[in-house]
Amino acid sequence: MKNILIVDDHSQITEVLKEYVLKEGFSPIIASDGKEALQQFFNHSVELILLDVMLPKIDGFDVCKKIRETSNVPIIMVTAKGEDFHRIMGLDIGADDYIVKPFSPSEVMARVRAILRRIERTDDNQHTMDQLIYDNLIVYLEEKKVTIAKQEIMLTKRELELLWLLLANREKVFSRDNLLDSLWGIDYYGDARTVDTHIKRLRAKLDEIDHPNWEIATVWGQGYKFEGKNEK
């Protein structure tokens, strides 16, 4: 049974989510503060984390950062209504999705199912093609690793999938809606700004190492594409 880590300091919320997680056939693990969340994560095999932002001891952002040092486990951040900067910050530091309080537990579980289905599809297809190369860039899907000029770049699972999709379809322009449907799933409830945030974060990481012969290009009014210098 897959473990879902639920992190929130409000017992009413964790109890409701616990019941929904159980109904979906998952095993809930509960943490009421950031310190306990990290302990539970490192002591158990976890498939996905529902992580509140405002937590005692260690806040959700720092928990997410710590987990991202060693793991690409999917993380759904839970933010307060109207606090867009929390949502943006969460995506910037490596969260895969966000949901706003007050929320419907059924919506939360729809997000969970969508992310886990996407992971299963990726895993099922790994045997067909596990490596893409362009110039000094290599993306290893099976190993979940990216290198530029033989130097490894640490990407989240969603960032790696985004890069893989763009590179595998080099020079094809993907609209924000295309990318949302392909990577987040058609039942994703978020908006197109999520794509922009992930592209910004992916570019920043790739730009840590020089790559003059290619880029993730913006096609104004249309979307994004992987663009090679010799193919412009």
pLDDT, tens only, 176-201: 888 887 777 655 556 677 888 899 99
> For the sheet containing 27-31, what is the strand order?
27-31, 3-7, 48-52, 75-79, 97-100
- The phi-psi region of residue 185 (left if phi > 0; otherwise alpha if psi is between -120 and 50; otherwise beta) is left
Q: How confident is the model at residue 143 (pLDDT cuts 50, 70, 90)?
A: confident
Q: Which long-range contacts (CB under 8 A, 24 or more apart) does 77-85 make?
A: 77/51, 77/52, 77/53, 78/8, 78/50, 78/51, 78/52, 78/53, 78/103, 79/53, 80/53, 80/54
Q: How confident is the model at residue 84 (pLDDT cuts 50, 70, 90)?
A: low
Distance CA 152, CA 31 (A): 33
Tell me what pLDDT residue 101 has: 84
Most confident range, picked from 26-35, 136-145, 161-170: 26-35
* C-beta separation of 37 from 7 below 8 A: yes
Residue 225 vs residues 8, 69, 176: alpha-carbon distances, Å: 38, 28, 11
Range 94-101 average pLDDT: 84
Q: How confident is the model at residue 218 (pLDDT cuts 50, 70, 90)?
A: very high
Q: 3-124 domain in CATH 3.40.50.720?
A: no
Range 47-75 average pLDDT: 90
Dihedral of alpha carbons 94, 184, 105, 25, sign? negative
Tell me what pLDDT residue 60 has: 92
C-alpha 108 chain-centroid distance = 15
Phi–psi pair at 101, nearest 5 degrees: -80, 145
Tell me what pLDDT residue 92 has: 74
Higher pLDDT, 121 or 162: 162
Distance CA 175, CA 63 (A): 32
Give the pLDDT confidence of 9-43 residue by residue, as tens digits.
999 999 999 999 999 899 999 999 999 999 999 99
- For strands 75-79 and 223-228, give the pairing: unpaired
- What is the average pLDDT score of the chain? 85
Give domain 131-231's CATH architecture.
Orthogonal Bundle (1.10)
Range 54-65 average pLDDT: 92
Q: How confident is the model at residue 86 (pLDDT cuts 50, 70, 90)?
A: low
Q: How confident is the model at residue 125 (pLDDT cuts 50, 70, 90)?
A: very low
Q: How confident is the model at residue 82 (pLDDT cuts 50, 70, 90)?
A: low
Going by the DSSP 8-state scheme, the letter that residue 28 receives in this structure is E
Q: How confident is the model at residue 168 (pLDDT cuts 50, 70, 90)?
A: confident
Distance CA 64, CA 48 (A): 12
Q: How confident is the model at residue 126 (pLDDT cuts 50, 70, 90)?
A: very low
* C-beta separation of 27 from 2 below 8 A: yes
Distance CA 79, CA 145 (A): 30
The residue ranges of every structural domain in the chain are 3-124, 131-231
